[in-house]
Amino acid sequence: MESVAAGSPSVGASLSSSSSTVLQLLLPMVVLVYVVVQTLVRRRMNTCTAPLPPGPMPWPVVGNLPEMLLSCKPAFRWIHHVMERTGTGIACVKLGGVHVVAITCPNIACEVLKMQDTNFASRPLTFASETFSRGYMATIMSPYGDQWRKMRRVLTSEIVCPSRHKWLHDKRADEANNLTRYVYNLAGAGSGGAVVDVRHVARHYCGNVVRRLVFGTRYFGEPQPDGGPGPLEVQHVDAVFACLGLVYTFCVSDYLPWLLGLDLDGHEKMVREAIEMMTRLPDVLIDERWRQWKSGERQGLEDFLDVLITLEDAEAKPMLTIEEVKALSQDITFAAMDNPSNAVEWALAEMVNSPDMLKKAVEEIDGVVGRDRLVQESDIPRLNYLKACIREAFRLHPVVSFNAPHVALVDATVAGYHIPKGSHVILSRIGLGRNPAVWDDPLRFNPDRHIPADPTTMVDVTLSENDLRIISFSTGRRGCIATSLGTAMTVMLFARLLQGFSWRKPAGMAAVDLSEGRHDIFMAKPLVLHAEPRLPAHLYSATSM
Ligand code: HEM
């Protein structure tokens, strides 16, 4: 090469001049491409500098579905298992194309639901939630948007506002009286007591309150002389719990949408059957009430249904369609049933196993209320130990393992991790409530942890929890709207059971079995205890049909 260059100066000169021309042409292009690439890379780096939260490496298309399905664990248990393995308060698994971000650390939970609330204000679109909400017509399951906003406003300003809460006080009080009377009848009406199914009693109390507030009636069918549910009420409450067990439960076609319609796991059929069963009776009632109002046959508001049907907008036009009224009635029904009944069932189970706690709660009621009248909602502010027991049940035995999912509306950064837009963010109710970094001896049921050690600093114990160390009513834009109603229902249910009856293990039972179900976290077996009336007989009879 050297000799050619040395022996052929003209060629060399020509080469060098042509290459300099090429360079002159290429260089700006190279620089331009370099600048563009750098800008793109930097822009991408700016949004994605943060890594995803820790979690297993996903496969293309199916994500981590294969390992989850192969684990043979229910989805919620597998996700908690992954979280334990990662050892962090936030983890990410990919189900199909969806990033599912689970959180067990209260600070990170607050970052999501308090500091970045608007970024995470939506809900996932799933087969069950679409079916149960009549095409996202109501509040709880609807994605963020105008319909959700409209329906949430209707509920907060017209249904669970303080004036309505006061307005319907007597109906709630009547249902508390009916509960006392029904359990009295089940417990042998003063004959020394009998074995009572606490789950049945607690769920039907909630069912009664809901039907009474929404539809103005305890019974869809014939009233029962003992105050208990008839077959139609049993069918209604069973159907509500069937729906609650299906919503936001894992369903493969929610993550691989092209499988929708094949119903490989039978989920779609179960969802359709459960909602048909749940709405059959209420829908007939709503159709009839709608007709009564539209024909002018009915006047005067008596319950939530009347309120919803007669709401008007600024131009005096009906605010809601009949479908919207049905969807909102369903929302209220879904929302009010499971939390109160589950918390009371678990609290009583734990306390029968720890009789000192039971004694302390009963003594509190006797001290505040006495034995010559029944406990009322107005007593709730002074029943702090009782509320601490319910808080403890929410902490240790929440009704579901994860809070309702929140969907990221934008790309976000949480705890230094990248959360892509569309991610499902699920706060673990058991992960938060049983977090050993937050709670001493987390698996021990200990209501005193919610009461200040120094009684002079004692303030009203409440069931809500702003710092998300437990999830009770949650917080933020999608937080529960019905703290007063939820508290009244839960505490009255518990207080009436404790005040009216002495509870103990049935003969031959060494301890109440506190195992959780395999596919959910309800008590594995319904709580069945021996109940004996402890008040003067006349107090058990005050109620209306
Ligand atoms: C003890 C009883 C109750 C508890 C513990 C409870 C708890 C909750 C929780 C944890 C959420 C989800 C919050 C989130 O996504 O971050 C929620 C949402 C909701 N709750 Fe409650 N709830 C109770 C009773 C009720 C009742 C009686 C109603 C009756 C109207 C109600 C209406 C709602 C509604 C409408 C939402 C959805 C809010 C939205 O997505 O915008 N809740 N509740």
For the Cβ of 485 lying below 6 angstroms from any atom of ligand 1, the answer is yes
Q: How far is the CA of 483 from the centre of ligand 1 (A)?
A: 8
The predicted structure's pLDDT at residue 192: 84
Q: How far apart are CA 230 and CA 416, in angstroms?
A: 55
Ligand 1 atom with the smallest distance to the CA of 490 is 1
Quick one: pLDDT band at residue 544, thresholds 50, 70, 90? low
Mention every residue, 6+ apart, whose C-beta is less than 8 A from residue 322: 286, 287, 290
Q: Ligand 1: which residue has its CA nearest to atom 23?
A: 486
Query: Region 326-344: what's the mean pLDDT?
Result: 98
For the Cβ of 403 lying below 6 angstroms from any atom of ligand 1, the answer is yes
Quick check: 14 pLDDT over 50? Answer: no
CB 448 within 8 A of CB 388: yes
Ligand 1 atom with the smallest distance to the CA of 148 is 41
Q: How far is the CA of 367 from the centre of ligand 1 (A)?
A: 32
Q: How far is the CA of 470 from the centre of ligand 1 (A)?
A: 14
Q: How far apart are CA 469 and CA 72, in angstroms?
A: 30
Higher pLDDT, 14 or 429: 429
Query: Region 491-519: what's the mean pLDDT?
Result: 96
Q: What is the DSSP string of 95-160?
A: ETTEEEEEE--HHHHHIIIIITGGGG-B----HHHHHHTTTT-SSTTPPSSHHHHHHHHHIIIIIS
Give φ, ψ of 439 to 5 degrees.
-115, 135
Q: Ligand 1: which residue has its CA nearest to atom 17?
A: 480
Q: How far apart are CA 345 and CA 327, in angstroms?
A: 29
Ligand 1 atom with the smallest distance to the CA of 159 is 30
Quick check: 13 pLDDT over 80? Answer: no
Quick check: 543 pLDDT over 90? Answer: no
Find where tokens 């399905």 sit.
69
- Mutation test of ligand 1: which of 390, 473, 474, 485 has the most ligand atoms closer than 8 Å to its C-beta? 473
- Give CATH for domain 65-540: 1.10.630.10
Q: Which residues pair with 94 in a beta bridge?
A: 99
The CA angle 206-293-311, to the nearest 5 degrees, is: 70
- C-alpha dist (Å) from residue 321 to 151, 280, 286, 318, 473: 12, 18, 12, 7, 29
The predicted structure's pLDDT at residue 30: 38
Quick one: pLDDT band at residue 40, thresholds 50, 70, 90? very low
Q: How far apart are CA 268 and CA 262, in angstroms?
A: 9
Quick check: 230 pLDDT over 50? Answer: yes
- C-alpha dist (Å) from residue 89 to 99, 428, 466, 501, 519: 16, 10, 18, 42, 23
The predicted structure's pLDDT at residue 452: 84
Q: How far is the CA of 427 from the centre of ligand 1 (A)?
A: 15
Q: How far is the CA of 422 from the centre of ligand 1 (A)?
A: 23
- DSSP label of 83: H
Q: How far apart are CA 63 and CA 252, in angstroms?
A: 12
- Residues 466-484: tens digit of each pLDDT: 999 999 999 999 999 999 9
For the Cβ of 482 lying below 6 angstroms from any atom of ligand 1, the answer is yes
The predicted structure's pLDDT at residue 459: 77
The predicted structure's pLDDT at residue 47: 52
Q: Ligand 1: which residue has its CA nearest to atom 10?
A: 473
For the Cβ of 523 lying below 6 angstroms from any atom of ligand 1, the answer is no
Which burial class, exposed, middle or buried, applies to 106 when counting CB atoms under 10 A from its CB (0-12, 13-18, 19+)? buried
Tokens of 219: 């019974």
Sign of torsion, CA 512 518 522 526? negative
For the Cβ of 390 lying below 6 angstroms from any atom of ligand 1, the answer is no
Q: How far apart are CA 102 and CA 141, in angstroms?
A: 19
Higher pLDDT, 449 or 26: 449
CB 397 within 8 A of CB 521: yes
For the Cβ of 188 lying below 6 angstroms from any atom of ligand 1, the answer is no
- C-alpha dist (Å) from residue 298 to 196, 218, 290, 292: 41, 20, 9, 5
The predicted structure's pLDDT at residue 216: 97
Quick check: 182 pLDDT over 90? Answer: yes
CB 279 within 8 A of CB 132: no
Higher pLDDT, 357 or 37: 357
The predicted structure's pLDDT at residue 48: 55
CB 470 within 8 A of CB 391: yes
The predicted structure's pLDDT at residue 406: 98
The predicted structure's pLDDT at residue 29: 47
Q: How far apart are CA 487 and CA 86, in angstroms?
A: 36
Q: Which residues pair with 195 in a beta bridge?
A: 530
CB 108 within 8 A of CB 415: yes
The predicted structure's pLDDT at residue 189: 81
For the Cβ of 481 lying below 6 angstroms from any atom of ligand 1, the answer is yes
Which burial class, exposed, middle or buried, applies to 126 when counting CB atoms under 10 A from its CB (0-12, 13-18, 19+)? buried
For the Cβ of 112 lying below 6 angstroms from any atom of ligand 1, the answer is no
Find where tokens 């678990």 sit.
346
- C-alpha dist (Å) from residue 112 to 109, 169, 437, 452: 5, 35, 19, 28
| % of residues, the chain, pLDDT over 70 | 90
Q: How far apart are CA 503 and CA 490, in angstroms?
A: 18
The predicted structure's pLDDT at residue 11: 31
Quick check: 259 pLDDT over 80? Answer: yes
Q: How far is the CA of 82 from the centre of ligand 1 (A)?
A: 28
Q: How far is the CA of 257 from the centre of ligand 1 (A)?
A: 28
Quick one: pLDDT band at residue 439, thresholds 50, 70, 90? very high
Closest residue by Cα to residue 208 from 184, 243, 242, 173: 173
Quick check: 45 pLDDT over 70? Answer: no
Query: Region 343-352: what's the mean pLDDT?
Result: 98
Query: Region 204-229: what's the mean pLDDT?
Result: 97
Closest residue by Cα to residue 512 from 524, 500, 520: 524
- DSSP label of 94: E
Sign of torsion, CA 114 398 176 133? positive
For the Cβ of 119 lying below 6 angstroms from any atom of ligand 1, the answer is no
Q: How far apart are CA 252 and CA 540, in angstroms?
A: 50
Q: How far is the CA of 394 from the centre of ligand 1 (A)?
A: 13
> How many CA atoms within 13 Å lie on the side-chain side of 125?
10
Q: Ligand 1: which residue has its CA nearest to atom 9?
A: 473
